Amino acid sequence: MSVDFVTLETGQELSDKSYVLDAQTVERYIGAVGDGSGIYQPADDRPVVPAMAVAALGLRGIVADLGIPEGTVHAGQELEFSAAVRVGDALRCRAVLSQNAVRGETRLVSLRLMVEDGAGRQVMTGKTTLLMVLHTPSGAAHT
């Protein structure tokens, strides 16, 4: 799915995905980033998931829903973690448009992110800021 950002209005919900955070997904993420913090203890019954894994895996559905256009730059990221997430937790990840403005040759898009666990408890919020170049002959995205 691809979103037409020209028509989007602030406050509009852009993505709403639910999934269960399984060990295989978390371990694939940890393998990619090489997290050596020790926060993830696979021998535990329900290991704590690294905070950034919650963010990245929460963004996964949003990335798929938005169809980020070429020329997009990931300019900023804010995250607030409010509870530990463990392997096996069900998560609901939503994204709402909080800013959509054109400045010169660039579209500035901000998304408010909310992640809740299966009990409806907020575990993470955030804000993603994207810069989309409106005219980019050789453009490419940096997300």
- The residue among 78, 86, 65 whose CA lies nearest residue 21 is 86
Going from the C-alpha of 36 to that of each of 49, 51, 68, the distances in angstroms are: 13, 13, 31
Q: How far is the CB of 9 from another protein (least distance, A)?
A: 25
Any contact of residue 25 with another protein (CB under 8 A)? Answer: yes
Closest CB to another protein among residues 49, 91: 49
**Structural contact between residues 113 and 62, judged by C-beta atoms closer than 8 angstroms:** yes
Q: Among 2-10, 29-37, 94-102, 111-119, which window interacts with another protein (CB under 8 A)? A: 29-37
Near another protein in 59-98, by CB under 8 A: 59-61, 63-64, 68, 73-85
Closest CB to another protein among residues 46, 142: 142
Closest CB to another protein among residues 55, 95: 55
Residue 74 belongs to what H/E stretch?
A: strand 72-81
Radius of gyration of the chain (CA): 16
In terms of C-beta density within 10 A (0-12 exposed, 13-18 middle, 19 or more buried), how is residue 127 classed? middle
Task: Write down how long the chain is.
Answer: 143
Closest CB to another protein among residues 78, 105: 78
Q: How far is the CB of 14 from another protein (least distance, A)?
A: 15
Any contact of residue 118 with another protein (CB under 8 A)? Answer: no
Any contact of residue 108 with another protein (CB under 8 A)? Answer: no
- The residue among 68, 75, 59, 55 whose CA lies nearest residue 130 is 75
- By CB under 8 A, name the binding residues for another protein: 25, 28-29, 31-39, 48-52, 55-57, 59-61, 63-64, 68, 73-85, 138-143
